[in-house]
Amino acid sequence: MTGFALSRPRRSVLYVPADNQKALAKIPTLDCDAVILDLEDAVAPEAKDDARETMRRFLRERRPENCDIVIRINALASEWGTEDLLAARAVRPDAILLPKVDGPRDVLDADAALDEMDAPAGLALWAMVETPKALFNLSATAELGRDPAARLACLVAGTNDLVKETGVLATPDRRYLVPWLLQMVAAARAAGIDALDGVMNDFRDAGAFENECVEGRNMGFDGKTLIHPSQIEVANRTFMPSASEIAAAEEVVAAFARPENAGKGVVAVGGRMVERLHLAQAERLLGKAGR
């Protein structure tokens, strides 16, 4: 696993434009697990400087304690990337979200820049998967999560950009996106990092959003990225393990903790044989539940 411990689950991760003072002011009242203060797509080119200053002032004067803070910067290769990274490092977020990560080099370049800025070791990097190149390089990018020095802690599905860049049809059931989404989950699990499902744009369709959350959880995502506060409750409820799942996981952990089972690879739990891989699954589930 990566060296970046969860301070809380990542069931609900809300994008907030960094220049929207009204939206920023609401953050301390929200029940989301993390907010992404967006300096990239949500901010017009002519407003980038003002957005950085608005973000600085907000985090200086009203820094939320109820959620993790993530800052999405513009690509380092862009005209705004370096200033964004400097501003993000200065305000001490929990993570910095890199947009349009095509491969490992994009993560390593950001990591090297943060090292030059003497950024704390606990400052994580998240990577957006939203380009065809990113899909082809998923395994190599995610593998950086095995090295804490590379800072990579999470993959984030950029489904809107994937639709735009590939030309696939955006159907309600996401049938043409699902293979790529599953690929992201598999790459994240192989590297021991988290994976977040993409946004749903129509926040008024609560039923469709809940279906998409259920689908995301069933695919193995840790949580969902959101565009509106009204989506938070459903995401939290859907991605939180149920009481029965928590009880079953606690039973598995307790069984392996018994002295007579020390060193055993397989034990009997509730009439079924359980292996240590199930112990790892149980511990992960309890971590999501905050146990």
pLDDT above 80: residue 92: yes
Q: Which two tokens stand for residue 185?
A: 């989950």
Q: Which two tokens stand for residue 60?
A: 């200086």
Q: Where are the beta strands (DSSP E) in the chain?
A: 12-17, 34-38, 68-72, 95-98, 124-129, 152-157, 194-197, 223-226, 266-269, 272-275
Q: What is the mean pLDDT of residues 123-144?
A: 98
State the pLDDT confidence band at 243, using cuts at 50, 70 and 90.
confident
Write phi, then psi, for 136 (nearest 5 degrees): -70, -25
pLDDT above 50: residue 228: yes
Q: What is the mean pLDDT of residues 31-38?
A: 97
Q: Which two tokens stand for residue 285?
A: 């589930």
Q: Which pLDDT value is given to residue 287?
A: 79
Which residue spans of the chain are classified as CATH 3.20.20.60?
12-239
Q: What span, in angstroms and rounded, lies between the C-alpha atoms of 123 and 138? A: 22
Q: Which homologous superfamily does the CATH classification assign to the domain defined by 12-239?
A: Phosphoenolpyruvate-binding domains (3.20.20.60)
State the pLDDT confidence band at 263, using cuts at 50, 70 and 90.
confident
Q: Which pLDDT value is given to residue 286?
A: 86
Q: Which pLDDT value is given to residue 27?
A: 97
Please check whether residue 186 is in contact with residue 153, taking contact to mean a CB–CB distance below 8 angstroms.
no
pLDDT tens, residue by residue, 137-187: 999 999 999 999 999 999 999 999 999 999 999 999 999 999 999 999 999
pLDDT above 60: residue 88: yes
Share of the chain above pLDDT 70, in %: 97
| 75-84, 106-115, 209-218, 282-291: the lowest-pLDDT one | 282-291
Q: What is the mean pLDDT of the chain?
A: 94
Q: Which pLDDT value is given to residue 130?
A: 97
Q: What span, in angstroms and rounded, lies between the C-alpha atoms of 221 and 214? A: 10
State the pLDDT confidence band at 1, using cuts at 50, 70 and 90.
very low
Higher pLDDT: 4 or 171? It is: 171
Using alpha carbons, select from 244, 166, 238 the residue that is nearest to residue 200. 238
Please check whether residue 208 is in contact with residue 245, taking contact to mean a CB–CB distance below 8 angstroms.
no
pLDDT above 90: residue 4: no
